[in-house]
Amino acid sequence: VGSSPATWLRTTPGELLDIIRHEDRPITKLELAKRTGLSRSAVTQRVSSLLNAGLVIPTRHLAEDTGGRPAERYAVNPNWGVSLIADTGATGMRTAVCDLSGHLLNEHFDWIDITQGPDAILGAISKRFSSHLVSRRLSPGHVRGIGISVPGPVDARTGRVVSPPIMTGWHDYDIPGFFSAQFDCPVTVEKDTNAMVYGAFRSSTAAEQNMVFVKVGTGIGAGLMLSGRLYRGADGAAGDVGHTRLDSAGEVAPACRCNNLGCVEAYAGGWAILRDLQAAGVEVYTIDELVKAVHEGNAEARAMVLESASIIGTAVAHLVNMANPRAVVLGGQLVGLGDLVLATVREQVYRLSLPLATRNLTITTCELPNPGVLGLAALVSDLVLGPDNVDRLLADRRG
């Protein structure tokens, strides 16, 4: 069936691995031959090169062991290597080492200040990476890919940060270059919300093909999954709802961290709430302290969070009208306030979005403690085990 020469010439070992990787269970050579139109010998040859490189492992399915010889099945070898991950926010970072199925092997959280600049922060990440490897008895040679997320706009082609509002000193810094000097593997850099939406997407049992992740922390931003794909936009700037302008209704619009006036963030971001509370004489200096103040019943803090949630809800409603997602997932530190934020956002979205867009829409808070880490781990695995990278690796082995 369909075994035209054109098909079998085109199906590379890397493409075969891609098929194996997306199966729910290990697959036989016969199934691979049927799937690709390759001859048995062509499949055997390609599977052998994947086996020799350690990329796939043979497995046997006991369930089938009912008379006759069970066919050898093949699966991706999750221990072929590991990925190193750093999910970096404005004030904290999670670093991790993961296997290539995206499972966490080791994770660590550190408080940081992103405005210390790339040398200090990337240096700290690099130290954590080393200690993760040591604690898992791994060497840099085991690292097959690196994923870094940052709280700012990332040029999707170069992996460089572009005029980030809060990342002083990071503009145009070569983050991939920093790590490729130490590790011989691909490095991927993502905006934090892109990593988060991908993590939520890959971890959800429903795996909604159209999903929006809204991060509500110090800043406000969103990541979009559209038709099952991470949507970065033409240059990587998609989803930046925090810097859309609100109508200030005649009042003087507050200045934003991006140097514009009246952005959503300048009214409703965590930093704006802290600014207003401090001006009102309430002594809260971090988002954690803010969350604590609300939990302890501080009326002013509660009122300002509610007002923010309403503005955030308006921004989310715009996103819902624009992208028509099936799921909106709220994450970030302010979501620690649970229903207070969630209920208000829901109310605004149902009020301001079209009935068709909200009929099947769910709006929930993110249950995962680390969607950014999981998203990066999945993105790195996709890249490392993708056909292009695998075929390049196999060619390098031959050469």
Applying CB under 5 A, among 50, 258, 309, 328 the residue interacting with Zn ion is 258
For the bound state, the minimum distance from the C-beta of residue 295 to Zn ion, rounded and expressed in Å, comes to: 29
Does the footprint of Zn ion cover residue 167 (CB under 5 A)?
no
Residue 233 and residue 239: Cα distance in Å, rounded? 8
Which segment (7-15, 45-53, 94-102, 236-244) binds Zn ion by CB under 5 A? 236-244
Which segment (196-204, 250-258, 281-289, 290-298) binds Zn ion by CB under 5 A? 250-258
Residue 332 and residue 342: Cα distance in Å, rounded? 12
Q: Which is nearer to Zn ion, 92 or 165 (CB)?
A: 165
Contact 387, 14 (CB under 8 A): yes
Does the footprint of Zn ion cover residue 264 (CB under 5 A)?
no
For the bound state, the minimum distance from the C-beta of residue 87 to Zn ion, rounded and expressed in Å, comes to: 23
Q: Which is nearer to Zn ion, 86 or 258 (CB)?
A: 258
Q: Which is nearer to Zn ion, 224 or 268 (CB)?
A: 268
For the bound state, the minimum distance from the C-beta of residue 235 to Zn ion, rounded and expressed in Å, comes to: 18
E strands of the chain, at which residues?
27-28, 56-59, 73-76, 82-88, 92-99, 104-111, 143-150, 187-191, 211-216, 220-226, 229-231, 327-331, 362-365
The alpha helices in 283-386, defined as continuous H runs, are 287-295, 299-323, 339-352, 355-358, 371-384
Does the footprint of Zn ion cover residue 150 (CB under 5 A)?
no
Q: Which is nearer to Zn ion, 210 or 260 (CB)?
A: 260
Does the footprint of Zn ion cover residue 243 (CB under 5 A)?
yes
Q: Which is nearer to Zn ion, 89 or 242 (CB)?
A: 242
Applying CB under 5 A, among 55, 86, 96, 256 the residue interacting with Zn ion is 256
Which segment (88-96, 216-224, 237-245, 269-277) binds Zn ion by CB under 5 A? 237-245
Residue 330 CB neighbour total at 10 angstroms:
23
Whose structure tokens read 């296997």? Answer: 99
Applying CB under 5 A, among 86, 125, 263, 384 the residue interacting with Zn ion is 263
Residue 279 and residue 20: Cα distance in Å, rounded? 58
Instruction: Give the contacts of 357 (CB within 8 A, at least 6 positions apart).
Output: 320, 321, 324
For the bound state, the minimum distance from the C-beta of residue 316 to Zn ion, rounded and expressed in Å, comes to: 17
Does the footprint of Zn ion cover residue 21 (CB under 5 A)?
no
For the bound state, the minimum distance from the C-beta of residue 329 to Zn ion, rounded and expressed in Å, comes to: 23
Q: Which is nearer to Zn ion, 189 or 256 (CB)?
A: 256
Residue 268 and residue 138: Cα distance in Å, rounded? 44
Q: Which is nearer to Zn ion, 21 or 243 (CB)?
A: 243
Which segment (171-179, 260-268, 340-348, 387-395) binds Zn ion by CB under 5 A? 260-268
Is residue 259 classed as helix, strand or coil in its secondary structure?
coil
Residue 81 and residue 380: Cα distance in Å, rounded? 12
Q: Which is nearer to Zn ion, 276 or 288 (CB)?
A: 276
Rg (CA), the chain: 24
Which segment (171-179, 251-259, 328-336, 378-386) binds Zn ion by CB under 5 A? 251-259
For the bound state, the minimum distance from the C-beta of residue 343 to Zn ion, rounded and expressed in Å, comes to: 26
Q: In what order do the strands lie in the sheet with 229-231?
A: 229-231, 220-226, 211-216, 327-331, 362-365
Question: How is residue 225 written in tokens?
Answer: 């999954």
For the bound state, the minimum distance from the C-beta of residue 254 to Zn ion, rounded and expressed in Å, comes to: 10
Contact 333, 111 (CB under 8 A): no
Residue 187 and residue 380: Cα distance in Å, rounded? 8
Q: Which is nearer to Zn ion, 200 or 256 (CB)?
A: 256
For the bound state, the minimum distance from the C-beta of residue 166 to Zn ion, rounded and expressed in Å, comes to: 10
Q: Concatenate the DSSP letters of all residues of 97-109 into one string.
A: EEETTS-EEEEEE
For the bound state, the minimum distance from the C-beta of residue 192 to Zn ion, rounded and expressed in Å, comes to: 16
Q: Which is nearer to Zn ion, 260 or 298 (CB)?
A: 260
Residues that bind Zn ion (CB under 5 A): 243, 256, 258, 260, 263
